[in-house]
Structure 1
Amino acid sequence: MLTTVYVVIGDRDRRLTDAGWATYCADVTRAIEGYAVRVHGTWRSDPTDTWRSACFAVRVALADADQLKAALTAARTRHAQRSIAWAEAETTLFL
């Protein structure tokens, strides 16, 4: 069984240098690509925005969700970030 998940990262308080942010994004991307069945999209804030953020929409097997969460937590910890948002989309409406 698969679920759709939105993973959101940020560096609102600018703890990371530009290079550090790029490395963090790359680490999160690798974690997602290692467990996701499909990546629907990736969105990143404009480099001139006040704070940095990125959102990933992915399909992941329920059996792999905990492993992906662990990989994301490891990336967050390595880069001294406070949190990563994990939002499962339980209902999709097509309008």
Structure 2
Amino acid sequence: MGALSPWHWAIVALVVVILFGSKRLPDAARGLGRSLRIFKSEVKEMQNDDSKPAPAAQPGASAPQQSAPAELPAADNATTPVTPPAPVQSQHNEPKSA
């Protein structure tokens, strides 16, 4: 008895419904469908990016000049550091009993 019979599948489905509840199953299926669609579109986009050939340099033409990387902006040292406020001491005025 290697394959699952329809009764086995019915029992598995019943256990899943009992464990997860009938309200959460459609939401889970919808989320799974969305994630599969996103995954499929990303795989297709990766395949399209790989299939585009890179522009080949023509022989005899000079190689394009590569520019130096842009420098990062210098930090502004004119600002003053922020200091945390002093801790507030609570004053409890308890009535003194005589």
* Larger relative contact order, structure 1 or 2 (CA cutoff 8 Å, min sep 6): 1
Would you call these one fold, judging by a TM-score over 0.5? no
Query: Normalized against structure 1, the TM-score is what?
Result: 0.24
- Tell me which protein shows more strand as a share of its residues: 1
Who wins on radius of gyration, i.e. which is larger?
Answer: 2
- Tell me which protein shows more helix as a share of its residues: 2
Query: Normalized against structure 2, the TM-score is what?
Result: 0.23
